[in-house]
């Protein structure tokens, strides 16, 4: 079994609901894991040197391009070496944490992880996105339609013209209910959403682990 690449991006450490649900996945996972915590060790944002290094022969790299290319190479090799992926990407201000976007910008490189003719080398590999959010964003909720995390990630990670992963999302909602008095009536819904997210994570770990071990 090739390894699970687990990318964390929540700033809250052990207090993060996204991380807690990911722990349920990890508790059922039987294979090796490579874990990268972007909150503890953020990758650099993409720079002009990083972009230009992609279209410049290595022998002609400036020192800045060589340094940027080394970062990209490390992250891309780590990404392509995995057989499955676990991404914890909570909703921050209706979108994804900037550290996760920085990671995406480093690994999405034409000719490496992207192939607009034949598809990505990673196409079809299973990926789980765990994205906790403080409110409710499903149909009928006041904030329905304002989720710019999951739709974006399903496109970036899962579209045939991008990374082409087989993406499943788990979205524990209403995580602010225990902390915001105005949301206290929603605590039972929060608890149900959280319990369901943990159970989904456990089941996905078993199913995906069996799939890539086969």
Share of the chain above pLDDT 70, in %: 99
pTM: 0.95
Residue 175, pLDDT above cutoff 90: yes
- Interatomic CA distance for residues 55 and 49, integer angstroms: 10
pLDDT in tens, 123-141: 999 999 999 999 999 888 8
pLDDT in tens, 84-134: 999 999 999 999 999 999 999 999 999 999 998 888 999 999 999 999 999
Can you list the alpha helix ranges (DSSP code H) found in the chain?
17-28, 48-53, 63-80, 98-107, 150-158, 187-213
pLDDT in tens, 57-83: 999 999 999 999 999 999 999 999 999
**Tokens 């039987």, residue?**
30
CB 94 within 8 Å of CB 148: yes
End-to-end CA distance of the chain: 8
Give the CATH fold of the 4-213 domain.
Rossmann fold (3.40.50)
Q: Kindly list the domain boundaries of the chain, sorted by start residue.
A: 4-213
Mean pLDDT (whole number) for 35-39 = 98
Size (the chain), residues:
214
CA distances from 57 to 10, 78, 107, 109, 153 (A): 36, 22, 18, 15, 31
Closest C-alpha among 150, 156, 149 to residue 104: 156
| Predicted pLDDT at 140 | 87
């Amino acid at each position: 079994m090739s390894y699970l690449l687990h990318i964390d991006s929540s700033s809250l450490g052990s207090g993060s609901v996204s991380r807690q649900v990911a722990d349920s996945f990890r508790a059922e996972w039987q294979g090796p894991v490579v874990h990268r915590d972007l909150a503890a060790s953020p990758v650099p944002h993409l720079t002009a040197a990083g972009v230009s290094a992609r279209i410049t022969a290595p022998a002609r790299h400036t020192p800045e391009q060589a340094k940027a290319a080394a970062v990209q190479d490390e992250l891309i090799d780590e990404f392509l070496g995995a057989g499955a992926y676990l991404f914890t990407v909570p909703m921050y201000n209706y979108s994804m944490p900037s550290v996760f976007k920085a990671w995406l910008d480093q690994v999405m490189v034409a000719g490496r992880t992207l192939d607009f003719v034949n598809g990505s080398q990673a196409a079809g590999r299973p990926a789980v996105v765990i994205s906790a959010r403080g409110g409710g964003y499903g149909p009928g909720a006041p904030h329905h339609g304002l989720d710019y995390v999951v739709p974006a990630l399903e496109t970036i990670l899962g579209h045939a013209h991008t990374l082409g992963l087989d993406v499943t999302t788990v979205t524990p909602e209403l995580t602010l209910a225990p902390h915001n008095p105005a949301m206290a009536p929603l605590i039972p819904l929060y608890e149900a959403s959280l319990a369901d997210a943990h159970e989904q994570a456990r089941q996905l770990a078993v199913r995906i682990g069996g799939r890539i071990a086969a």
